Amino acid sequence: MTEDSREGLDLNLLEEEPLSIRVQRKPYSVVMRTPGDELALVAGFCLTEGIVDAPDEFTNIAYCDGSDTNVVTVTLTPSRRDAVRRLLDRQGFVSQSSCGICGKTIIEDLHQIVHPIKGDTALAVNTACTYLTTLSDHQVYREHTRASHAAAIYDAHQSLLTVGEDVGRHNALDKAIGKLFLDEEIFRAAVLVLSSRISYELVQKAARARIPIVLAKSRPTVLALELAEKLNMTIASAFGSSGLYVYCGADRLID
């Protein structure tokens, strides 16, 4: 490009800010997220990380003060606080996609908070492909910025329950799960559709929400598949515009 041919463009860029999550008045985690749906994000985070199993185990989940949406505080019931004391005693951390420990250790640790998924949920292959090809239709941020991830959750009757969108794929999923969790509708979740690759953290989060089928536009990691197989989950990714790669749990996908 020559100097004479350069043009200035006004582009919409996606926002990213830190969100501090405090549990029992103590800093627990900091996540980098797109502002919006903070309470849902934190509720989903607490479920998927094993801090709570049910909404009534929160006594409070709120912004630190009315004007600061970058800090959310969580208070647990006394019985739940005692049950997860080991988790609450951990040091605060910044959410990231790699923790630096071996896969075997990860899966052994996750077995403490996730369990195999039972049930006869089934999904037609052509419906799964439609979910993947139409995911971007539900992404408001992506339409303007081309920079967001999304997680869409459907029930077993092909109804779209909710969509989470964020700069981070983990946050997008926590937002989607958290909305249903707070509304006490998480039991309806049957199919998860992701804009990103499927990592072990996303499999963990889906398993904590008891979602048996996970579809994504990109392929899974080896560790994600190892975990999904142990948890009796179905994992598939897009193959062209009208096909699927099915990695495990093929019995749930029908013609």
So which residues are the catalytic ones?
Answer: 99
For residue 51, the one-letter residue type is I
- Residue 204 tokens read as 């963990």
Angle at which helices 200-208 and 222-230 pack, to 10 degrees? 30
Residue whose tokens read 């559709």? 193
- The SS3 assignment for 157 reads coil
- β partners of residue 75: 60
Task: Report DSSP letters for 11-73, one per residue.
Answer: ------EEEEEEETTEEEEEEEE-SS-HHHHHHHHHHHTTS-SSGGGEEEEEEEETTEEEEEE
Give, in order, the Cα–Cα distances in Å from 237 to each of 57, 133, 168, 215: 35, 11, 19, 5
Q: Which of 221, 214, 173 is nearest to 199 (CA)?
A: 221
Q: Which of 79, 78, 81, 73 is nearest to 28 (CA)?
A: 73
